[in-house]
Structure 1
Amino acid sequence: MVDSNPEYLEAVRELSNRIVEAQRPIRILDSIKWGPEIREGFFRGACRNQPAVDGDYYRRNNPLEFDPAAKRTELHAIERDISRKLGQLNPLAAIMRRYCREYATVVRMLEARGTDDFGVLSEELYGSASDVFHAGDPSLADLGMAMENTLVNLLSNESMREDEKTIAAESAVEMLNERLLRVFPDAGIRVLLNDQMTADAAAGSDYLKIRSDAWFNALDIDVLEVHEGWVHLGTTLNGTAQPWCTFLSKGPPSSTTTQEGLAVLTEILTLRSSPTRLYRLISRVRSVTLAEEGASFLEVFDYLRHMDINEEDSYSIAVRIFRGSTPQGRPFTKDLAYMRGFVQTYNYLRLAMSQGRLDTLPLLFCGKITLEDIKTYQMLTEEKVLVAPPFVPPHFADLKGLASWMSFSRFIASLNFDQLEADYGALL
């Protein structure tokens, strides 16, 4: 497929490093965040007024750390050099060129903050709730509605309620530092407090940030360990360890679906997730769906409150959907990646198990990859252009238990659920 001679490998590394440097100042979430003053104003108005956010708000509060026109030109130049140095038909070159184009689209999206074009470009990068997995299949919006109904029924059972959040952010930092030091003993991973975040936690290149006023329970700490630690930090470290394909240490939007899907799958396979956690993820899908259908920030917030989500969480979810946009604009659709990615990675795992292709599964962790590229990465591994990931989560490092469980999945999935309800309904 490719010529892995020293000159070729050096060219791959040089171009990879240029991609890494070019994307460094492009900080999507920092560029579209809503500040604490927006939250304070919303609650001060008894949650009845649309937040005062428009294009000027982003330019005034979140100025871009780069010149958009110059950044697009830089990315185009890298893309052209990839073709010149690696070849027009080279599969690795095709992936690297796509990364450049995606980052250029991200630049355009950030330029369009506070306009309808922001939502259009977000949909181009992250997809839409109306997308289907295969022709004739239900859409992500359909998945959201079906899962919502199931989870509402589950959460009506008192045994599904989670413990109170009694762990302060400072204690969470200590606990996670201790856990991640055991998992990544020589990586220099740090867990830090941050008072500028909207989310409770977020992973960086070699750190995990915890919002300083957030509260957690034991299950939250478990989820953060595997989701942010094992997957997000783990794949970053594995990408950084690549000797040639260093661009895999950074993920463009196309890798977000696989990354978040792997993270949610890992939560579930390690029994760290919960119906409350899944309900929160599904609520984001439902919120994107409503916003794409024309609902405003206030209407999404009211819907979430109607679904028995408290005011703080309803505000946080609604902000995630409208950040970068306006309270009455098209949504930021990144949060679709969690459920879309879970379905895609689970189905890939199921197929790999059924065909005995267990050798492909560690490749999911070799960096910030996109699932549809895995065949190319498999060939690159065989040619030693790509190295095996130094860190693989325990449930993927030893697949015996997972393989036993997954062996039944194809047969069980083929059973008619309506008939099962008829046969077993009398037993419940």
Structure 2
Amino acid sequence: MTPYETNRWQGVSAVALLAGGVGVVAGSPVVLLVGVVGVAFAAYARSGSPPSTDVTLSRSVSDLDPAPGDEIRVEVTVENAGDRTLPDLRVVDGVPGALRVVDGSPRLGTALRPGKQAMFAYTVEAVRGEHAFDPATVIARDFSGAREREFEVKNDTTVACTPELSATAEDVPLREQTTRHTGRVTTSEGGAGVEFYATREYRRGDPVSRIDWNRRAKTGELTTVDFRQERVATVVLLVDAREQAYLAAAPESPSAVEFAVRAAGKTFAALLDGGDRVGLAALAPENLWLAPGAGDHHRAEARELLARSETLSRTPPEEPFYSTITMRWLRRRLPTNAQVVFFSPLCDAYAPEVARRLAAAGHAVTVVSPDPTTDDSPGARLAAAERTRHLRSLRAGGVRAVDWDTDDDLGVVLAHADRRWRS
């Protein structure tokens, strides 16, 4: 907080002395007076005392636990707690980098007498994660503006935006890779269920309710009706959070990773509501793993991870990504009967390779790919064509792949894909 010169009056002394000398030599009282006034201004600027730093700041936030997309009003009050007037006071609030200001301004310029306050307000849009406000930056100048002090005023304020895990509009289409527990995924096995599968010869001990009495009346033979069994699925949602996945259609648009995290939250809720066992993982420099499970506590753990994990940050990671080590780590943790839903923009060659490796290891893989590409330039169109090629190669290899235009609702996109796969 050491005061420093603003150089506002730099050169005034030299000009004043020059004017005074010219006035004396030329015998011009007017020019001499200009020189005297200039010397007086220069002397005043040099003799002024440094501005006070006795400033306090308080911050009020309308909602400390908002939902994503909510608008939060922030009110900041600045007070001159000293005994001297602050003739030129400028304040810039420490808005977290992830919060976008949508109304008002987080800046203030004013003058404050001792004990007086000034207030300014602005509105930010909430996004997932925990956002701590930085200290406000304050610049105070003296009356002449020749000296100023820049310092920070701290007021601890944190906004925690934790999205609810709401399900998609439709059930998530899963593949036939299940446990032995009864659930909602239809299998190719006969047994107890609701959908007709086949008939077979009666065996001692078969339930009477499953005997085909119509055939018994017609032919006299005892046959048993088998229904298509439904089982519980074990699913791991894998989010591509490598640096290469942080792509966006425009600088102000959410990245593909942000869309992937939102989709993972909706998918997690839908599967959990359907009775399946669900887990979370990330393809990133920092490991993230939540083993498949069920129940309210498991839902709360997933909600916390998706909202606040540094692995799923809104900004690209700075640490290097080691593909071999990460794949080995992931495959050791994946249950043998788990299927994988992989969220990735598929904009580089490694992402589809991950899907193919997991499929080769015996896991049923479905890729949900948020599309961050545009057609604004030849380079952008080339990137879009490359991504389309990756999608086609996965489908040709037997891996289900959903091309998700993020302007469309995810539930509707999955429903259309499911109808296409069933046809």
TM-score norm. by structure 1 comes to 0.23
Q: Normalized per residue, which structure has more strand? A: 2
Larger Rg: 2
**Larger RCO of the pair (alpha carbons < 8 Å, separation 6+):** 1
Q: Normalized per residue, which structure has more helix? A: 1
TM-score norm. by structure 2 comes to 0.23
